[in-house]
Chain A
Amino acid sequence: MSAATGAGRVRLPSAPYLLSAPALLLYAVLLLVPLVATALLSLHSFGIYKGIENVYNLANYHDIFGDSYFYEIFGRTFRIAILVTLLAAVIGAPEAYILNRMRAPWRGIFLLVALGPLLISVISRTLGWALLLGSTGLVNQGLIAIGLIGEPLQFMYSETGIVIALTHVLIPLMVISVWASLQRLDPQIENAAISLGASASTVLRRIVLPQAMPGILSGGIIVFALSASAFATPAIIGGRRLKVAATLAYDEFLNTLDWPLGAAVAILLLVANVVIIVGCNRLLERRYAEVFR
């Protein structure tokens, strides 16, 4: 069926293909070719004296799956991503609900405060956390001042520090997602429940949460995927020693110069990302088919 929806107007059936040809051409040359070349590169082997060899085998993948060093890094990446996703949901979802209940002009102002950081460079935001979390930073000074701790805590170069900073970087996406799903919620339903005698906690549990759930889950998918592949924040807060998957690929490429191994790490990261995002979205759409309609 290639009939134009613009009824009454005769156009060549090839028109939509011609119109999208420039974009498709750009993508074919600049996206498909480089990605396929990377997949092929990951099958090559590398030697310190021989450089990249034109052989095709799965040795790099074999190395990655057989080495506990890589397990540790992928395990850390996964752990950080899970924690960031949970924190973003626990903090971001209630905040979206609170924002949704505000009145003008506060609603607009605080929505700007919550979402605006998304447009500020990740480097600037992470630098802020590096300043706050240092051993003489404001967080440690504050905790010592109120007597919670005696010695400064080590946040920099720790997973805790990475989780805090990444949560800050990604939480606006959770707020956006939950906010969007709460826009479909008719406030009259809440009022109806209250007038029928439901307590505030019942309203939250039985009416608001089910409505917000698709937003929390789809926000969770985005936050998880982005924190699992995050680079700049773990690199700055984690330093050179505490590696995650993305900084590992960077080191293999630009420091060790083992391009085939770096390519294999990249391909694994890509496959994991696509499987998680596409798979979870499928599940979500099936589960909440009526909400997304």
Chain B
Amino acid sequence: MSRNGPVALIFHALFVVFVLAPILVVCAVAFTPLGFLSLPTQGLSLRWFRAIGANPEFVEAFWASLWLGALSASIAIAATVPCALAVARYRFPGRDALVAFLQSPLIIPPVVLGIAFLRFFSEIGLNGTFLGLVLSHVIVVMPFSLRLVIAAASGSDPQLEQAAVSLGASTWQSFRRVTLPLILPGVVSGWVLAFITSFDEVTMTVFIASPRTTTLPVRLFLYIQDNIDPLVAAVSAALIFLTIAAMLLLDRLYGLERLLVGRGRD
């Protein structure tokens, strides 16, 4: 394979600067010792990270986001696994339509989903409740988990299940002891991708969150709309550090390329 020329490498360097600049600047401003937005040219300080602790609304929103992501990812996976097995193991009328329907939230703008849920939840009395947030997030994250679990189920060998059944295992035993361990990497990464998607969701959630039940991105968004100060930079930087840690872990466990691009060629 031929090497990249100097022009290509300069282009690449500019691209990397473009991609990293906004992320680095948030992290840098978060360490400022001063009381206003500025780069920490006169030494680093953790005062704005400490200030997060003094703002319980951010801390509460963080825990709400964590629970919301975990619950909606778990419900989505519970509904996804049997469905993915049906799609991977059977040819049945309506199979393609089923997959297309379950993937459809991907092409619905989040604003539209937010409006639809706001109307729906205020009719049935769920508006501004945590249950409402969980239910709406299940719909948003399901296409992501579905894709990974279908890929894992299609890649596992159905003959292993047949062997288990022919040796006397019940359907449940063969699922629990054979199928599930086989597709587990896909299930785990589907759960993680669903969790991240839920944790980052802001556009739909901003419609249905209430001041008392809200998520961290929504809290940040509403705060930034009013004013930008080192406090939001510190919250954002903390989020960025957490995401990078999760990303490195995910890269070790599953491979980020495989997770984002799809299954590799090898």
Residues of A within 8 A of B (CB): 1-6, 8-9, 13, 15-17, 19-20, 22-24, 26-27, 30-31, 33-35, 37-38, 41, 91, 94-95, 98-99, 101-103, 108, 110-132, 138, 165, 168, 171-172, 176, 179-180, 183, 187, 190-191, 194, 225, 228-229, 231-232, 235-236, 240, 245-246, 249-250, 253-254, 259, 262-263, 266-267, 269-270, 273-274, 277-278
Q: Please state if B116 and A131 are interface contacts (CB–CB under 8 Å).
A: no
How far, in Å, is A229 (CB) from chain B's closest CB? 3
Provide the bound-state CA to CA distance between A269 and B98, in Å: 24
The 9 A-B pairs of least Cβ separation, nearest first, read A128-B22, A229-B109, A34-B116, A16-B86, A19-B86, A34-B120, A124-B236, A19-B82, A16-B90
Q: Which residue of B lies closest to A272 (CB)?
A: B109
Tell me whether A23 and B224 are in contact (CB under 8 A).
no
By size class, the interface of chain B is 35 or more
Which of B20, B98, B115, B251 interacts with A20 by CB under 8 Å? B98
Q: A30-B139, A111-B257 are in contact. Are A4 and B89 (CB under 8 A)?
A: yes
Additional 5 contacts, C-beta under 8 A, given A35-B116, A127-B22: A13-B92, A37-B116, A103-B1, A130-B228, A131-B233
A and B contact pairs by CB, cutoff 8 A, 30 listed:
A2-B91, A5-B89, A17-B92, A22-B83, A23-B142, A27-B139, A31-B104, A91-B15, A95-B12, A99-B12, A112-B256, A115-B261, A119-B196, A120-B244, A127-B22, A127-B224, A132-B25, A138-B25, A138-B39, A180-B262, A225-B109, A231-B202, A231-B203, A232-B202, A253-B118, A262-B115, A266-B109, A266-B111, A273-B108, A274-B108
Residues from chain B with a CB closer than 8 A to the CB of A8 are 162
The residue from B20, B221, B246 contacting A232, defined by CB atoms under 8 A apart: B221
Question: Please, which residues of chain B bring their CB within 8 A of the CB of A9?
Answer: 162, 165
| B164 CB to nearest A CB, Å | 11
**Stretch among B3-11, B41-49, B51-59, B180-188 lining the A interface:** B3-11
Residue interface bits B86-116, CB-to-A below 8 A is 1, else 0: 1101111101001001101101111111011
Chain B residues in 8 Å Cβ range of A26: 79, 138-139, 142
**Is B253 among interface residues, defined by CB-CB distance under 8 A?**
no
Q: Is B19 an interface residue, CB under 8 A from the partner?
A: yes
In the complex, are the beta carbons of B93 and A2 less than 8 A apart? Answer: yes
Contacts of B244 in A (CB 8 A): 116, 120
- Is B158 at the interface (CB under 8 A from chain A)? yes
Report the minimal beta-carbon distance from A201 to chain B, rounded to whole angstroms.
12
Given the known interface contacts A41-B119, A98-B8, A225-B107, the answer about A131 and B25 at a Cβ–Cβ threshold of 8 Å is yes
* Bound CA–CA A274/B105 (angstroms): 11
Report whether over half of chain B's contact residues are helix, strand or loop; otherwise say mixed. Answer: helix
Q: How far is the CB of B245 from chain A (nearest CB, A)?
A: 11
* Cα-based distance from A117 to B217 in the complex (angstroms): 15
Q: Find out whether the CB atom of B232 lies under 8 angstroms from the CB atom of A95.
A: no
Q: Who on chain B is nearest to A188 by CB?
A: B1
Contacting pair B138 A124 (CB below 8 A) = no
- Verify A121–B21 contact, CB threshold 8 A: no
Partner of B101, one of A27, A110, A254, A259: A27
Q: Which residue of A lies closest to B256 (CB)?
A: A112
Which A residue's beta carbon lies closest to that of B82? A19
B152 CB, min distance to chain A CBs, angstroms: 15
Give the residues in chain A near B8, CB-CB below 8 Å. Answer: 94, 98, 101
Inter-chain contact B89/A6, CB cutoff 8 Å: yes
A219 to nearest B CB, angstroms? 12
Give the contacting residue for B98; candidates A24, A179, A194; CB below 8 A. A24
Q: Are A123 and B217 in contact (CB under 8 A)?
A: yes
